[in-house]
């Protein structure tokens, strides 16, 4: 059986240097990690024997809380095998636990630092709730995408500074959407967001690839092995082969990169969250 590097998805807080790294590997084990982008220190949160759907997850603007959708397949358990949870960054212990019982919809988006929209779809129940944050029942969520990952991921990209690529952008036939983020010096970070069955080995139904291109189209840097990438206003950030990098475009038009963390060697261990 082929071995793949750790798979990585990152949630960047908009008003804080905090981020949550969702690190998956092997396929049925996932860890949540705090990334302090002011110091580039990484701190392990907790592990789950199951899966977290990073594209259906979100971090509060101040980086204190996050909402995530998870599945462990124990359908007869209290959590019904899949659930949406709200927790303190970077932990998994649920302050609010909303069992789902299937993998349609789920997850959510933060509308303020302490209010979230629930991607309810076919419905959640309530196993545990909290007064620290609240569900925003007045927010009208996105309805332009399907009930799975794009329902959260695409609106999150648009909210956080990405724009849809022009209609004439050439993208692979399987790509549902492509998104652009402006970089300094007349460059664009372009994200190809795939939604397909029969995806390449090591990829799920929803996966990304990237390139960096000049706004005039005169030069392009291929970054097809980047599984996640973003720009935080100062640096280009990306994940490749289980590692996290930061960099910028040099004066010569080449990408200057620094490896920040290698997350491939991590192994599952039980950790308790420091709160009730």
Query: Cα separations (Å) of 151 from 13, 64, 124, 206?
Result: 19, 23, 16, 12
Structure tokens belonging to residue 170: 């050439």
pLDDT 10s digits, 126-179? 999 999 999 999 988 766 556 688 889 999 999 999 998 865 455 555 567 899
**pLDDT for the residue numbered 121:** 81
Question: Can you give the pTM of this predicted structure?
Answer: 0.93
pLDDT 10s digits, 179-194? 999 999 999 999 999 8
Tell me the average pLDDT across 1-5.
72
Residue 9 contacts residue 59 (beta carbons within 8 Å): no
Structure tokens belonging to residue 176: 């549902």
pLDDT 10s digits, 64-86? 999 999 999 999 999 999 999 99
DSSP 129: -
């Amino acid at each position: 059986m082929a071995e793949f590097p750790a798979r990585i998805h990152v949630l960047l807080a908009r008003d804080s240097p905090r981020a949550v790294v969702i690190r998956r590997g092997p396929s049925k084990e996932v860890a949540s990690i705090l990334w302090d982008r002011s110091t580039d220190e990484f701190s392990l949160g907790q592990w789950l024997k199951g899966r977290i759907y990073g594209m259906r997850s979100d971090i509060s603007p101040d980086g204190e809380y996050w909402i995530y959708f998870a599945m462990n397949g124990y359908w007869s358990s209290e959590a019904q095998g899949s659930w949406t949870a709200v927790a303190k960054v970077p932990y998994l212990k649920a302050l609010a636990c909303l069992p789902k019982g299937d993998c349609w919809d789920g997850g959510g988006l933060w509308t303020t630092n302490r209010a979230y929209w629930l991607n309810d779809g076919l419905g959640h129940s309530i196993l545990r709730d909290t007064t620290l944050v609240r569900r925003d029942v007045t927010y009208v969520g996105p309805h332009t995408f399907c009930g799975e990952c794009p329902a959260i991921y695409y609106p999150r990209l648009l909210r956080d500074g990405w724009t849809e690529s022009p209609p004439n952008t050439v993208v692979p036939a399987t790509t549902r959407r492509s998104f652009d983020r402006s970089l300094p010096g007349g460059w664009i970070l372009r994200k190809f967001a795939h939604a397909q069955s029969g995806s390449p080995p090591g990829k799920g139904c929803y996966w990304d690839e990237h390139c960096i291109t000049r706004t005039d189209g005169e030069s392009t840097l291929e970054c097809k092995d980047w599984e996640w990438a973003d720009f935080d206003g100062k640096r280009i950030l990306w994940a490749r082969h289980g590692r996290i990098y930061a960099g910028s475009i040099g004066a010569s038009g080449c990408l200057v990169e620094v490896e920040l963390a290698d997350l491939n060697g991590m192994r599952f261990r039980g950790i308790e969250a420091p709160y009730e």
